[in-house]
Amino acid sequence: MKNRKILIAVILVFLVSLCLSVFILRHSDKQTVEIVQDGELLYTFDLNGAEDKDIRISAPDGSYNLVQIQNGTICISEADCPDQTCVSMGVLKSDYLPIVCLPHKLIVRFAEDEP
C-alpha cells in the first residue's frame, strides 16, 4: 500500500512537471522584442518587419554581446562572457524564458504589451 502511494505521487509530480514544461516552453505569438541592459530599455523591434542585422551591445566595462536578428528571429550569437549561457540559449521562442546574460546584465525578451 505504501509503495502504491509513492508511485502515485511520483506519477503526479511527473505529470505536473510535464504540463508546466509544455506551458513555459511553448512558442510565443508575439513579435515585439525588447533588449534591456541593467534595467534600461535599449531597443524595441517588431520581428515581422525587422531587417536582418547584428547589434553589438557593450557593457560599461567594455564587455559585449552580439545580438542577431535573422529571418524574423532574434538570438545572442556571440558574447565575451565566461559561461556563454546566453549564446547557448538559441533563438527567443517563449514569453516565459527570455535570453539572459547575467554577467552583462542583458535581457532579450518579448514585450509584455504589444504596441
Question: Residue 23: pLDDT above 70?
Answer: no
Q: Considering only residues 81 and 114, tell me which one the structure prediction assigns the higher pLDDT.
A: 81
Q: What is the pLDDT of residues 41-65, one digit of tens each?
A: 999 989 888 889 999 999 888 899 9
Q: What pTM was estimated for this model as a whole? A: 0.76
Q: Which domains does the chain have, with CATH numbers?
A: 29-110 (2.60.320.10)
SS3 of 8, please? helix
Stretch 81-85: mean pLDDT = 91
Q: Which three cell numbers stand for residue 112?
A: 509584455
pLDDT at 28: 66
Question: Residue 74: pLDDT above 70?
Answer: yes
pLDDT at 20: 74
Q: Work out whether the CA dihedral 93, 84, 65, 39 comes out positive or negative.
A: positive
